[in-house]
C-alpha cells in the first residue's frame, strides 16, 4: 500500500472516530433542550371574543398572543374544555370570566367563585394542566345591563372572594376591572355609557381602549 493511500485511510479512520465520539456524547447527554416559547393566551367570554379583531394590535408586544375566547361561556365551559388551553402550551393565561355565571346561570357570587366548576376550580385546573403558566384573572366589571346591574352585589362578592383566593397564590394574580368603566367614584350609579355599546354590557371602542391599558399594564408591556 502506497504512503498516499495509507494517509487517506488514516484520515478516514480519524473522521469516523470523531463522528462516533460526537454521536456517543449526544447519546449520553441527550439532545440540547430548547428554551420554552413565550405565549400569551386569552380565554373567556364575549368581552374577549369580541376583542379578537384588534387585540393583537392593541396588545402589541405580547409574545405569540392567541385569543380563543368564546362568547357566552362560563367557568364551567373552560373547566370542561381544558384541552383547548393545553394544546396552546401558554406561558401566560389572561382570563375574562364570571359575568355569565351570575347572569346566565343565576349563581350567587360565592357559587360563581367557589362552587363546583366555579372560577376557583377553573384556576386550579389550569394550573394543574399548565403548571408553568402565570394566570391573570380579570375581576368581573360592573356594567349597566339590567340583569347584571341588579346582581352587582353578587359580582362584588365574587370579586372579593377571588381577590382573597389569588392573594394566596404565586402563580395567579388579579387584574382589577370591577369599577374601571366609571368616570367618577359614585359606584351606586351605573358606569359611564360611553364605554359600552347599546346593550350596556359589551364594550364600545372607548371601552376597549380602557381595557387595553389595563391588560397592557398587567402584562408589563409598557414597562
**pTM attached to this predicted model:** 0.84
* CA angle centred on 202, ends 183 and 182, rounded to 5°: 10
Give yes or no for a contact between 161 and 167, defined as CB atoms under 8 angstroms apart.
no
Average pLDDT for residues 106-122, to the nearest whole number?
A: 98
Q: DSSP strand E in 26-159: where?
A: 40-44, 66-67, 92-96, 134-138
* Average pLDDT rounded to a whole number, residues 166-180: 98
Average pLDDT of the residues in 196-217: 98
The number of folded domains in the chain is 1
Confidence bin at 147 (pLDDT 50/70/90): very high
Residue 5's beta-bridge partner residues?
none
State how far the Cα of 195 lies from the Cα of 148, in Å rounded to an integer. 16
Query: What pLDDT does residue 32 have?
Result: 59
Q: 123, 75 in Cβ contact below 8 A?
A: no
Does a structural domain hold residue 155? yes
pLDDT at position 22 is 45
Residue 35: inside a domain? no
* β-sheet bridge partners, residue 134: 92
**What's the rounded mean pLDDT across residues 131-144?**
98
Answer whether residue 48 is part of any domain. yes
Q: Is residue 14 part of a domain?
A: no
Q: What is the arithmetic mean of pLDDT over 172-182?
A: 98
Summarize pLDDT for 53-94 with one digit per residue, the tens. 999 999 999 999 999 999 999 999 999 999 999 999 999 999
pLDDT of residue 187: 96
% of the chain beyond a pLDDT of 70: 83
Q: Please report whether residue 30 resides in a domain.
A: no
Domain containing 142 equals 40-219
Cα distances (Å, whole numbers) of residue 8 to 53, 76, 101, 174, 181:
65, 71, 77, 69, 80
Residue 11 has pLDDT above 50, yes or no: no
**CATH number of the domain to which 78 belongs:** 3.40.50.1110
72 belongs to a structural domain = yes
pLDDT of residue 35: 61
Mean pLDDT, the chain, as a whole number? Answer: 90
For residue 123, is it within any domain? yes
Instruction: Look at residue 190 and tell me if it is in a domain.
Output: yes
* Confidence (pLDDT) at 4: 46
Amino acid at each position: 500500500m502506497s504512503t498516499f493511500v495509507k494517509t487517506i485511510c488514516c484520515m478516514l479512520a480519524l473522521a469516523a472516530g470523531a463522528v462516533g465520539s460526537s454521536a456517543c456524547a449526544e447519546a449520553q447527554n441527550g439532545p440540547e433542550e430548547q428554551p420554552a416559547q413565550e405565549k400569551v393566551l386569552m380565554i373567556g367570554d364575549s368581552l374577549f371574543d369580541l376583542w379578537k379583531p384588534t387585540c393583537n394590535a392593541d396588545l402589541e408586544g405580547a409574545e405569540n398572543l392567541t385569543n380563543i375566547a368564546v362568547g357566552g361561556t362560563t367557568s364551567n365551559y373552560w373547566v370542561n374544555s381544558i384541552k383547548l388551553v393545553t394544546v396552546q402550551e401558554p406561558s401566560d393565561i389572561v382570563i375574562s370570566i364570571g359575568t355569565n355565571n351570575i347572569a346566565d346561570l343565576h349563581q350567587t357570587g360565592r357559587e360563581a367563585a367557589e362552587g363546583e366548576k366555579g372560577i376557583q376550580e377553573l384556576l386550579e385546573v389550569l394550573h394543574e394542566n399548565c403548571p408553568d403558566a402565570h394566570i391573570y384573572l380579570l375581576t368581573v366589571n360592573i356594567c349597566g345591563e339590567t340583569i347584571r346591574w341588579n346582581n352587582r352585589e353578587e359580582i362584588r362578592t365574587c370579586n372579593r372572594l377571588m381577590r382573597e383566593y389569588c392573594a394566596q397564590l404565586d402563580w395567579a394574580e388579579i387584574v382589577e376591572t370591577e369599577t374601571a368603566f366609571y368616570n367618577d367614584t359614585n359606584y351606586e350609579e351605573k358606569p359611564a355609557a360611553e364605554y359600552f355599546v347599546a346593550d350596556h354590557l359589551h364594550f364600545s371602542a372607548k371601552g376597549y381602549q380602557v381595557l387595553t391599558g389595563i391588560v397592557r399594564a398587567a402584562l408589563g408591556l409598557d414597562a
